[in-house]
Structure 1
Amino acid sequence: MEKIASKLTDSIYKNNPALTDLELKKIKFGLECFLSEISKILIYFTIFRIFSLTKYFLLALFPFMTLRAAAGGYHEKTYLKCLINSFILMFTIVLIGIKTGLPMYLKGIFILLSLAFIIIYAPVDHYNKPIISKDRRNNLKFTSIGIFILLVLIGIFLGGKLGNTILASVFIESATLPLGYYFNKRK
């Protein structure tokens, strides 16, 4: 992904040589992230489609990505580790959603733990893109809480396997926050 992003960034620079080094680094980082995410989603989509679990995969993916966009979370250091661990997370979410009849008390525990993780840790930034502004940090925290509330309400309203998948997605993403907080720091 880094090589592809570098080539694309070089092409962008050739068409716009007025870009600064910082702007080029931001463009390259953004392209790396975009290409990594798109390629992972396509691979996962293909795998879940083979097993006729596309609907549950999408129901796991969208809440996960929506909350993660504001709250952040744990990041692996390499693309391959990220690909494998993200697949394990998505598979776990889908499995919880379709194979377990989450009792109400367990849903309550998922919701309370998720909220606690968000309040305590969100937003968890990436070492390549730290959140410096206190206002931005506060806005992301409140946005994370708002997204959390919306997703939980949707999960409860839908109920059954669909609702369980959404609630599992919210819980698993929230559980990446303390991991990211403690392990994403570059030494």
Structure 2
Amino acid sequence: MKKFVDSYCNYLKKKGIIVSDEQLEICAYGLELIVSAILNIVILVMCSFVLHEERYILFYFLGFIPLRLFAGGYHADNHLNCCIIFAGIYVVSVFLRCIAEPPLVLCFIVVETLLILLLSPVESVNKQITSKRRRISRNRSIWILLANVVVCIVFLWVQPNNSYIEYYLISGFLASSTMIAGKIKLHFASRKKEGASL
């Protein structure tokens, strides 16, 4: 994928659309993210059809993506690993929905609440964020959490065992769970950096 993006950006530079190396780098990075996101979504949609869960996929995305975007979490080292992990998390959500009963869903929302309040936002090893951006991301992840808590209360009170809502809540729980792996990776990366500087 990187070769494709780089060759396309070099083509744009030859045509004069991109004029500097800095613009080339920014364009290549942005295109890589877009292509990776589209690829991940296509793979998950295909998985949902294979598993006969396609009617729920939108609710999975609604629960997972906003929280993952602002709370942060684990970042794979390359796009292939990212696709594999993203698909793996989706398969876990399918399994959890099959066994989800209201008490288990309530446990998920409690764990999600604790993780977001304790860890959010989790930065990427390669992309540090400013304190202002950290504060904004934390506030947004807490607002998303509050929405999830409201949805959970309505779910438990009004319509338990609604598969659409279960997917939404389970995917939010899984998105918040990736923060643990992200925090561990960040910890080991900082220790490795400290060791290298000695």
Give the structure-2-normalised TM-score.
0.81
1:4-153 equivalence runs, <5 A: 4-14=4-14, 15-19=16-20, 21=22, 23-97=23-97, 99-104=98-103, 106-131=104-129, 133-153=130-150
Alpha-carbon distance change, 166 to 18 in structure 1, aligned in 2, over 3 angstroms: same
Aligned pair in 2 of structure 1 residues 157, 55: CA closer, same or farther (>3 Å)?
farther
Aligned equivalents of 1:147 and 1:12: distance in 2? Answer: 39
Deviation digits for residues 36-55 of structure 1 (CA, Å, limit 9, x no counterpart): 12112112212322332112
Q: Which runs of 5+ in 1 are unaligned?
A: none
Q: What is the one-letter code of the residue matched to 1:120? A: L
Q: List, as ranges, runs of 4+ consecutive aligned residues in structure 1 with deviation greater than 4 Å.
A: none
Contact preservation (8 Å) 1:119, 1:145: yes
SS across alignment from 2:73: coil
- State the AA in 2 paired with 1:70: F
Contact 1:156 1:163 (8 Å CA) reproduced: no
User: Greater Rg, structure 1 or structure 2?
Assistant: 2
CA distance in 2, matches of 1:114, 1:101: 15
Taking the aligned partners of 1:155 and 1:37, their CA distance within structure 2 comes to 28
Cα distance in 2 between the residues matched to 1:17 and 1:163: 45
**Measured at CA, do residues 12 and 129 of structure 1 come closer, stay the same or move farther in structure 2, by a change above 3 Å?**
farther
